[in-house]
Chains A and B, each alone.
Chain A
Amino acid sequence: MATLAQPHPDDQPLRRPNVPTADNRLPGVKDYEQVDRDVIATLKPTLGWFLALGAAVTALFIGAAAWIYQIYEGLGAAGYHPPVMWGVYIITFVFWVGIGHAGTLISAILFLFRAGFRTTIYRCAEAMTVFAVMTAGLFPILHLGRPWKFFWLIPYPNWRLIWPNPKSPLVWDVFAILTYLTVSATFFYVGLIPDIAVLRDQEKNPVRKRLFAVLALGWRNSDREWRHFTRMYLFLAAFATPLVLSVHSVVSFDFAMALTPGWHASIFPPYFVAGAIFSGIGMVFTIIIPLRKLFKLEHMVTINDLDAAAKLCLFTSMVVGCAYLTEFHIAWLSGNKVEQEFFWNRVFGQWAWAAWIMLICNMVLPISLFSQKLRRNTTWLFILSIFINIGMWFERFVIVVPSLSHEFEPWQWSGYAPTWVDFAILLGSFGWFFMWFLLFIRQLPVMAISEVKEIIPPKLRHAPHGHTSGGSH
């Protein structure tokens, strides 16, 4: 005889908890129908949504106009001058790839670790990942003088039968980023299938119903489908976990494989991965805190979930801080005059202002999260998340610009000043990202309906011994 799940009081452990929802409770949600109702309610467009979308599209147009100007004028319009030939574009590329890490961390790694708090926030984080990687993918192309020849990076011979060098970190980047984009988008879409089936079954508008029917692929919630789906999800999570770690490691190789002072360090892969996860969690807070307020989802994305995510944020901040300090330690221990000079210059020289923005935003301010009161204060978490986003952008600035402007020989020492084209394209990237995100939140569920339902105790016909009632569903 099959054992039934029973309503469990708080002092009793769950029996064989369903993996993604282990030990998570949502007392504000009474039944399955409420989950559908509350999540589907978020799909109705509002004036605020239209205004936000308008702002995002305007920002995108500004960026696109600046890009067209840059193609016409040449890359010099972007403020490059030797030796600083990597600037805002590569900084922003690494920034968006980093943002894209939290989604897969939350959906895959926390899934494998059975962290219950992921359930209500992972869908937003996954969407953020896909759109952030889409944004990041634009930057290597924006950085090209002849962007229409971007496909030369793909291992496909050009018309002179020259193949790209597979020992080059830039080619590794192509494989890593395209794999990450494909796997993240696949993970995102297949996770959505059961939820799109809910929309299909609830939708009244015939056109949208038809569209959802196509996207749901005929999903019927049968035991056979769930059996294969849950296995698939587990294996995808198992693949995505090392992928998350590898992608930013590969991005770090773009720097670490060069002999440039400040870059050529074996600490770069873990340093980049920790920074990516940290920045991604910062962006999750930036997105999820206003969303739960605007959509009135505080009973689903509970303060406990945010508290747990804030602890993860604190931990990654400490790892990042440790990496910053280790870099100085390595420079000191190496006895290499160039490295020592470079790191001294980083904090007390030409770029000290940027380095201190980075250190304060990423190392100092997150220390506040040791306080439980602040971890549970959504206003503070939101403000902190903005500082983290700024700090992490400046981290990449501090990695890219000071190294290139202060290489081995004094004649190589220079400055760097971004132009309006750089800033317009940076703004445009935010417009592009938020345009997709805003379109997503009005068309598809921002929360994993079927997984949230796993948290809700199922309705029982016969109340078990020792319990007064079953779930209210």
Chain B
Amino acid sequence: MQGVLGAFAEIDSTVHAIEDLKKQNFSDITVFTPTPRHEFDDVLDAPKSGVRKFTLVGGLLGVTFGFWIPIWISDYWPIVVGGKPVASWVPYTIIGFELMVLFGSLATVFGMFALSRIPRLTMTVGYDPRFSHGDYGIWVVAGPERATEAADVLRKHGALEVRNER
């Protein structure tokens, strides 16, 4: 992947540079920010996170499994107490609830990992350690024919540093 990386000290310059890049029809833009900011969500107009789907599926699987285990155990090893059901759903709600939370939470984390594509063995191109410290970064995917144009936009908005990477 080839592109241009720009580092910014200020949030408004970063936002304006993204707006300008989008006007110039650069569509593959990644922003690096030390902390989540709604400004970037707004300007990038990114789709909603799909993590919630993982949460739903994990939670449903968990609650199903959480009821199935005690019902199966009761059936396999019945403890018969006069007049009472061998498998009673009321106390099993506790196990069902706990496993819903357990599976749902783990599925949520798995979803975040899968959608964010982590764990990542290499940092890939377009990252600089300053982006976890205090600066903002914009990585624009651009071939050699448009790299200069992208770099010009970044510089125009006050980038501290602009460099081509591949």
Q: Is the C-beta of A401 less than 8 angstroms from some C-beta in chain B?
A: no
Question: Across the interface, which residues of A come within 8 angstroms of B13, CB to CB?
Answer: 461
- Chain B, 23-38, CB within 8 A of any chain A CB: 30-38
Question: Across the interface, which residues of B come within 8 angstroms of A38, CB to CB?
Answer: none
Q: Is the C-beta of B55 less than 8 angstroms from some C-beta in chain A?
A: yes
Q: Is the CB of A201 within 8 A of B132?
A: yes
Closest Cβ neighbor of A456 among chain B residues: B35
Interface residue total, chain B, C-beta cutoff 8 A: 75
Residues of B participating in the A interface, judged by any CB pair closer than 8 Å: 9-13, 15, 18-19, 30-44, 46, 48-52, 55, 59, 66, 69-70, 73-74, 76-77, 79, 88, 91-92, 94-95, 97-99, 101-102, 104-106, 108-109, 111-113, 115-124, 127, 129-134, 158
Task: From the candidates B49, B101, B118, name the one contacting A183 in the complex (CB within 8 A).
Answer: B101
Question: Across the interface, which residues of B come within 8 angstroms of A208, CB to CB?
Answer: none
Q: Helix, strand, loop or mixed for chain B's interface? A: helix
Q: Is the CB of A228 within 8 A of B116?
A: yes
Closest Cβ neighbor of B100 among chain A residues: A239
Q: Is the CB of B12 within 8 A of A4?
A: yes
- Chain A, 227-271, CB within 8 A of any chain B CB: 227-232, 235-236, 239-240, 242-243, 246, 250, 253
Q: Is the CB of A236 within 8 A of B109?
A: yes
Q: Is the CB of A2 within 8 A of B76?
A: no
Question: Across the interface, which residues of A come within 8 angstroms of B88, CB to CB?
Answer: 167
Question: Across the interface, which residues of B come within 8 angstroms of A172, CB to CB?
Answer: 91, 94-95, 98
Question: Across the interface, which residues of B come within 8 angstroms of A32, CB to CB?
Answer: 34-35, 133-134
A24 to B115: give the CA distance in the assembly, Å.
31
Q: 16 other contacts beyond A5-B11, A202-B132, A222-B32, with CB at 8 A cut-off?
A: A5-B37, A32-B34, A32-B134, A161-B77, A166-B70, A186-B105, A219-B120, A220-B124, A220-B127, A223-B33, A227-B49, A235-B105, A235-B108, A451-B35, A460-B12, A470-B10
Q: Is the CB of B134 within 8 A of A201?
A: no
Q: Is the CB of A186 within 8 A of B36?
A: no
B79 to A: closest C-beta gap in Å: 6
Task: From the candidates B59, B111, B131, name the one contacting A232 in the complex (CB within 8 A).
Answer: B111
Q: Is the CB of B97 within 8 A of A223?
A: no
B50 to A: closest C-beta gap in Å: 8
Q: Is the CB of B91 within 8 A of A167?
A: yes
Closest Cβ neighbor of B97 among chain A residues: A246
Q: Is the CB of B91 within 8 A of A454?
A: no
A459 to B94: give the CA distance in the assembly, Å.
49
A331 to B129: give the CA distance in the assembly, Å.
64
Place the interface of chain A in its size category: 35 or more
Q: Is the CB of B77 within 8 A of A162?
A: yes
Q: Is the CB of B19 within 8 A of A198?
A: no
Q: Is the CB of A3 within 8 A of B39?
A: yes
Q: Is the C-beta of A103 less than 8 angstroms from some C-beta in chain B?
A: no
Q: Is the CB of A186 within 8 A of B34?
A: no
B125 to A: closest C-beta gap in Å: 11
Q: Is the CB of A454 within 8 A of B36?
A: yes
Task: From the candidates A163, A165, A194, name the one contacting B132 in the complex (CB within 8 A).
Answer: A194
Closest Cβ neighbor of B70 among chain A residues: A166
Q: Is the CB of A224 within 8 A of B30?
A: yes
A292-310: CB near B (< 8 Å → 1, else 0) gives: 0000000000000000000
Q: Is the CB of A33 within 8 A of B134?
A: yes
Question: Across the interface, which residues of A come within 8 angstroms of B18, CB to CB?
Answer: 2
Q: A166 and B11 in contact (CB under 8 A), knowing A228-B51, A232-B111?
A: no
Q: Is the CB of B37 within 8 A of A458?
A: yes
A461 to B14: give the CA distance in the assembly, Å.
10
Question: Across the interface, which residues of A come within 8 angstroms of B42, CB to CB?
Answer: 2-3
A462 to B8: give the CA distance in the assembly, Å.
13
Q: Is the CB of B106 within 8 A of A186?
A: yes
Q: Is the CB of B38 within 8 A of A235?
A: no
Q: Is the CB of B115 within 8 A of A454?
A: no
Q: Is the C-beta of A207 less than 8 angstroms from some C-beta in chain B?
A: no
Closest Cβ neighbor of A199 among chain B residues: B132
Question: Across the interface, which residues of B come within 8 angstroms of A202, CB to CB?
Answer: 129, 132-133
A228 to B145: give the CA distance in the assembly, Å.
33
Q: Is the C-beta of A18 less than 8 angstroms from some C-beta in chain B?
A: yes
